[in-house]
Structure formats: structure tokens, C-alpha cells
Amino acid sequence: MSDAEWLAGTDPTEMCWFLRDQASDRKFRLLIVACGRRARPQIGAAKFVLGVDATERFCEGTATEEEIRQFNLSRPNAAAVAVQVMRFGQRHAEHAGPQAEAAAQLALLRDIFGNSFRSIAQDPEWLTSTAVALARGMYEARDFSAMPILADALQDAGCDNEAVLEHCRGPGPHVRGCWVVDLILGRS
């Protein structure tokens, strides 16, 4: 896959497979959580909902031993599971259809992974108390409405990276694992 193919890509499962050797299991698990939460209304199964929530807690290191065992959360190859969850969501997308669901999943994938062809390193100058507090608050609350304010704080700290600033000011969606928030918080 090339940079142009990444930017123009329309198949989130293909892009997920492309990333499988480049990204952390945490990122793939957070993609599972984001896609799983989209699929909740169609599925409604209590075990599915519990599994999605347990997966998020596993990413945070707060899942119980019982949850880890029950949902097999420590298994490797989270990319393959993410692809299965995305395909399941596309098959059961009653509200808008499979193509609309794939587009929504693609937006989540790009929010979490960014563009692997244009990696951006954390600049210590950007890590002001304001920027870090905003990023941490959004992450913990799962409320990313302050992303434009984070862009302003980063710009005030000397960030002139267009990809970072555009992502923060863009329409989203933004979820736990957002590549800019993770960059600020030093998560991978």
C-alpha cells in the first residue's frame, strides 16, 4: 500500500491488515472497542457489550483476571479480531447499510492510527501543562469535544505540524486511541 492508496482507501479491513505488523495490539483493541460500540444498537447482546467494555479496560490495565479469561483478552493478533469485528458490523449495519458502516469504521481507523506513511514524533515543546491536561481529560472522559482547543494549545506551544493541527480541528470522530491524543500522552 502506498501513501496515496492509504489516503484514498475505502476498505477499512484492507487497511487494518496493512497495519497489522506496524501498530500495537493496544491500538487494534481500541479499534475493536470503537467499532464494537458502533455495533451495540444492532447486536444488543449483553455478552458482546460486556466484552467490548472489558476490552477497553484491558487496554487500560484495569480488566479483572476473570474478564481476561472469559473474553480471552490476552490473545495475540488483535488485528485479526479487529477485522472480524469490522466485518460483523458491516454485515449487521441496519441503520445505514454496509457501505456507510465501512466509511464510519474507516474514519475511526484513521483517528486511531493516523497515517503510517507520515509518522510524527512527539515534540517535548508541545507537552505544556495545558496540552497534556486537555489530552488527559479528553481521554479519561471519552469526550473529545475539546480537540479544537487542544489544537490551539499545541499551536501556542510551537506546534506547526499541519497534520496534527488539522486532525485536532477536523470533524472527527475522535475516540480513545486517537493518534494525536496518544502522541501527547506518550501512548502507543
Residue 172 predicted with pLDDT over 70: yes
Residue among 52, 37, 167 at smallest CA distance from 111:
167
Question: 174 pLDDT band (50/70/90 cuts)?
Answer: very high
Contact 59, 34 (CB under 8 A): no
Q: Read off the pLDDT of each residue in 6-25 and give the average, rounded to a whole number.
A: 86
Q: How far is CA 146 from CA 137, 152, 171, 174, in A?
A: 9, 10, 12, 10
What pLDDT is attached to residue 42?
64
Q: What percent of the chain has pLDDT over 70?
A: 94
What pLDDT is attached to residue 111?
95
Q: Where are the alpha helices (DSSP H) in 61-123?
A: 65-70, 78-91, 98-113
| Cα angle 81, 69, 28; round to 5 | 25
What pLDDT is attached to residue 45?
66
Distance CA 112, CA 11 (A): 16
Distance CA 138, CA 174 (A): 10
